[in-house]
Chains A and B, each alone.
Chain A
Amino acid sequence: MDEKERKQAIYPVSTESLQQNGKTVYYIRSVTSTIFGVSAGILGLESYYGFLFYFAGTAFVSLLLFLLLARGQPTEYFTSANDIWMGNALTGLSSFVLTWTLFYGLVDA
Chain B
Amino acid sequence: MSFVSTAITVFSLLLLFHAGYSAYEFSHYLKHLTVNSNATLPIDIITETIVATCLFALGQVFGADKLRPVSFAKWAKGLEREGKSPFAFLERRPGYMNVTKLREEYASTKK
Q: Mark B39-76, 1 if CB is under 8 A from A, else 0.
A: 00100011001101110111011101111111111111
Give the residues in chain B near A21, CB-CB below 8 Å.
67-68, 70
Bin chain B's interface residue count: 35 or more
A13 with B67: CB separation less than 8 A: no
Set A17, A20, A61, A109: member contacting B57, Cβ < 8 A: A61
A76 with B41: CB separation less than 8 A: no
Query: Does B10 sit within 8 A of A, measured CB to CB?
Result: no
B31 with A109: CB separation less than 8 A: yes
* Tally of A-B Cβ pairs under 8 angstroms: 107
B75 with A69: CB separation less than 8 A: no
Name A61-109 residues within 8 Å CB distance of B. 61, 64-65, 68-70, 76-79, 103, 106-109
B contacts, CB < 8 Å to A: 16, 19-20, 23-24, 27-28, 31, 41, 45-46, 49-50, 52-54, 56-58, 60-62, 64-76
A contacts, CB < 8 Å to B: 11-14, 16-18, 20-21, 24, 27-28, 31-32, 35-36, 38-39, 41-44, 57, 60-61, 64-65, 68-70, 76-79, 103, 106-109
